[in-house]
Amino acid sequence: MKKGFIGIVLFFSCFLFAIQTQAQVIKMGAGAELRGRPAAGLIAKTTYRLDFIDEKLRSSFDMMVLPRLEGNLDIHYSFFSNFGINAYGIGGVNLASNFGANVGAGLMYSFTERIYGYWESKYIIKQIEPEASIKIGVLIKL
């Protein structure tokens, strides 16, 4: 049931992102997540710029696909963007078996005009087993 719910959220998120691609920037990619339980996982990630609200805001949805299904819906607020480096704060919700909140920071580096690397460090606040998380990966601008 919960896997189905997270799958539906992912599908509709990607669908809504695809509808509004005309003037917005969408990036999709994959990476690895390192944390306590499980020790490591494979993630898929999508980001979407929210310029219509504030030019420094970006939404992000990432889903751990291996070894278990778990998602995060976050908002990024850029506080530094220069020389191909973008530093941002993170706040959001964790969509696991028990819901939680995310707080942290991240860096995104522009390798080319379309390829970006990212690093995020955040604390996942859950009622059961709160934990730290480090994510690294690559995004491609669509």
Q: What is the CATH number of the domain that holds 73?
A: 2.40.160.20
| Residue 38 clears pLDDT 70, i.e. is over it | yes
| Residue 140 clears pLDDT 90, i.e. is over it | yes
pLDDT one-digit tens code per residue, 82-94: 888 999 999 999 8
- Say what the pLDDT of residue 51 is: 81
Q: Print the domain residue range for 40.
A: 2-141
- Say what the pLDDT of residue 6 is: 53
Mean pLDDT of 36-62: 87
List the helix and strand counts (H, then E) for the chain.
1, 8
Q: What is the pTM of this model?
A: 0.76
- Coil vs helix vs strand at 136: strand
- Say what the pLDDT of residue 111 is: 94
The domain tally of the chain equals 1
